[in-house]
């Protein structure tokens, strides 16, 4: 039983952050051994990975995957108009079944670009999102985006809805987990934020929220709560190592130090911030120095156009270099940490590195490619040069979900056709 991947160049992400030329033996769902000349006795499948790079599956720590149905919709509008005139009215028309197809579409894009796990926040269709993730084989953390800043919405009703779905998700499969999502400080009352965080802490679930995305959000928080967003969330007990703060582009030195001291998980979504022209750049290196755990995310496909974490890793790196006028502001190991093991840590999965005993989420890329050669053993160079077309195989939980560039568990052609039809139908409803 199991798979033997022979002779790969492995970006391990183990504690030494090494690159090794070795074999990887995978058992049912975990990596059993790493070494050279491992015996193939009793193994179901042997894969010759000579000339290939193996790296831990990338973790997309903040997205809204079903919004792949809205890719390119309302293109070019500023954030507020884009949401109010295009996205929110279109989302009003969404039905649960649409989420299933949007999730499959997004997951195919993710797998083809080396992502093995995503963390989502959305307001409907979460059970169908879990079905889709289950079928295609990807790992997922799914949260209801709670908000009560609207007529007829109360903290109690929001919590009841969320608890129901969290219980349902807990019964699905071990690859799918629930998180507690609160949309943002400006869209949630203090009662709702407190209830949501308490529920998350009690059930040991991640608490996922948008924080410090725009300058407008910071000023509204100063006005309504008399504190900046991170200060406020700390004051109500919502800033700790179980919390995932997405964006964090508009933060002060004091907020950076709070996030570090509390061990908050910060998710930098560079492409979404650039596309929506939010102006703030998440100070990744400063957060890391302060002690926060920093991961990366694409944000939804409507505010990014892609779910490609390879591209996200590169843009994050470029943006940090540019922000600090320092091409070495982030070390190569830190870049890969943000895209892999830090995301896994934020979401509570025992994955994110190629180490014995870890869950087997592994990506193989063909290094004999024009955009990668000549290959140096340099993590920074690989992060800059990779692209999704290099990805040949993706294993999640010990199973290939992409094998020799073919999606294995769903009919890709059917999904692409159906998702595109559904997307056009939704906006014309």
Query: Which of 217/299 has CB closer to Zn ion?
Result: 299
Query: Which of 304/353 has CB closer to Zn ion?
Result: 304
Q: How far is the CB of 89 from Zn ion (least distance, A)?
A: 18
Site string for Zn ion, 166-205 (x = CB under 5 A): ----------------------------------------
Looking only at residues 276 through 305 of this chain, which bind Zn ion when binding is defined by CB under 5 A? Answer: 299
Q: From CA 137, how far away is CA 396, in angstroms rounded?
A: 7
Query: Which of 158/299 has CB closer to Zn ion?
Result: 299
Site string for Zn ion, 242-281 (x = CB under 5 A): ----------------------------------------
Residue carrying the six token digits 């939804």: 300
Query: Which of 299/308 has CB closer to Zn ion?
Result: 299
Strand-pairing partners, residue 422, are none
Q: From CA 31, how far away is CA 360, in angstroms rounded?
A: 5
Query: Which of 234/299 has CB closer to Zn ion?
Result: 299
Residue carrying the six token digits 């030195």: 253
Site string for Zn ion, 35-54 (x = CB under 5 A): --------------------
Q: From CA 111, how far away is CA 109, in angstroms rounded?
A: 6
Q: How far is the CB of 64 from Zn ion (least distance, A)?
A: 6
Residue nearest to Zn ion (CB): 299
Q: How far is the CB of 200 from Zn ion (least distance, A)?
A: 18
> Does 217 interact with Zn ion (rule: CB under 5 A)?
no
Q: How far is the CB of 271 from Zn ion (least distance, A)?
A: 12
Q: From CA 61, how far away is CA 66, in angstroms rounded?
A: 15
Q: How far is the CB of 84 from Zn ion (least distance, A)?
A: 16
Q: How far is the CB of 303 from Zn ion (least distance, A)?
A: 7
Task: Note whether 10 and 55 are within 8 A (CB).
Answer: yes
Which of 369, 424, 359, 407 has its CA nearest to residue 174?
Answer: 359
Structure-block tokens of residue 236: 């109500």
Strand-pairing partners, residue 46, are 4
Query: Which of 52/208 has CB closer to Zn ion?
Result: 208
Structure-block tokens of residue 379: 């993590």
Q: How far is the CB of 226 from Zn ion (least distance, A)?
A: 25
For residue 229, give the 3-state DSSP assignment. Answer: helix
Q: From CA 133, how far away is CA 127, in angstroms rounded?
A: 10
Say whether the peptide bond before residue 60 is cis (omega within 30 degrees of 0): no
Question: What phi and psi values does residue 35 have, to the nearest 5 degrees?
Answer: 175, 180
Q: From CA 187, how far away is CA 209, in angstroms rounded?
A: 11
Task: Note whether 57 and 361 are within 8 A (CB).
Answer: yes
Which of 245, 225, 224, 244 has its CA nearest to residue 235?
Answer: 225
Find the Cα–Cα–Cα–Cα dihedral 126, 312, 209, 73, rounded to 10°. -60
Query: Which of 286/299 has CB closer to Zn ion?
Result: 299
Query: Which of 65/363 has CB closer to Zn ion?
Result: 65
Query: Which of 8/267 has CB closer to Zn ion?
Result: 267
Q: How far is the CB of 98 from Zn ion (least distance, A)?
A: 19
Q: How far is the CB of 267 from Zn ion (least distance, A)?
A: 9
Looking only at residues 296 through 355 of this chain, which bind Zn ion when binding is defined by CB under 5 A? Answer: 299
- Report how many residues bind Zn ion under the rule CB under 5 A: 1
Residues at the interface with Zn ion (CB under 5 A): 299
């Amino acid at each position: 039983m199991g798979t033997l991947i022979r002779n790969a160049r492995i970006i391990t992400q183990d504690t030494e952050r090494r690159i090794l030329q070795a074999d990887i033996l995978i058992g049912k769902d975990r990596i059993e051994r790493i070494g050279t000349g491992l015996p193939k006795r009793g193994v179901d499948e042997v894969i010759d990975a000579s000339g290939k790079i193996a790296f831990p599956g990338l973790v997309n720590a903040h997205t809204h995957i079903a919004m792949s149905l809205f890719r390119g919709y309302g293109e070019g509008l500023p954030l507020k108009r884009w949401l109010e005139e295009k996205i929110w009215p279109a989302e009003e028309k969404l039905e649960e079944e649409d989420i299933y197809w949007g999730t499959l579409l997004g997951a195919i894009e993710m797998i083809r670009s080396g992502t093995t796990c995503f963390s989502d926040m959305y307001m409907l269709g979460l059970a169908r999102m879990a079905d889709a993730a289950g079928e295609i084989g990807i790992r997922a953390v799914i949260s209801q985006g709670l908000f009560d800043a609207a007529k007829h919405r109360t903290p109690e009703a929001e919590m009841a809805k969320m608890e129901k779905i969290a219980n349902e998700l807990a019964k699905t499969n071990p690859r799918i987990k629930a998180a507690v999502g609160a949309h943002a400080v400006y869209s949630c009352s203090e009662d709702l934020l407190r209830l949501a965080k308490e529920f998350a802490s009690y059930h040991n679930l991640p608490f996922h929220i948008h924080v410090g995305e725009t300058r407008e959000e910071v000023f509204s928080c100063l006005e309504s709560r008399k504190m900046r967003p991170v200060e406020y969330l700390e004051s109500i007990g919502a800033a700790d190592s179980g919390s995932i703060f997405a964006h964090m582009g508009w933060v002060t030195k004091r907020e950076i130090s709070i996030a570090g001291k509390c061990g908050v998980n910060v998710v930098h979504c560079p492409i979404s911030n650039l596309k929506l022209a939010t102006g703030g750049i998440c100070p990744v290196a400063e957060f890391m120095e302060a002690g926060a755990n920093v991961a990366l995310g694409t944000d939804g496909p409507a505010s990014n156009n892609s779910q490609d974490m390879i591209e996200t890793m590169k843009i994050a790196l470029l943006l940090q270099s540019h922000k600090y006028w320092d091409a070495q502001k982030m070390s190569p190991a830190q870049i890969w940490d943000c895209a892999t093991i830090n995301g896994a840590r934020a979401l509570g999965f025992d994955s994110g590195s190629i180490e014995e005993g870890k869950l087997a989420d592994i990506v193989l890329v063909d290094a004999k490619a024009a955009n990668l050669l000549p290959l140096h053993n340099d993590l920074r160079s690989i992060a800059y040069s990779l692209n999704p077309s290099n990805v040949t195989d993706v294993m999640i939980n010990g199973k290939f979900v992409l094998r020799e560039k073919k999606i294995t568990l769903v009919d890709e052609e059917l999904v692409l056709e159906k998702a595109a039809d559904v997307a056009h139908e939704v906006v014309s409803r």
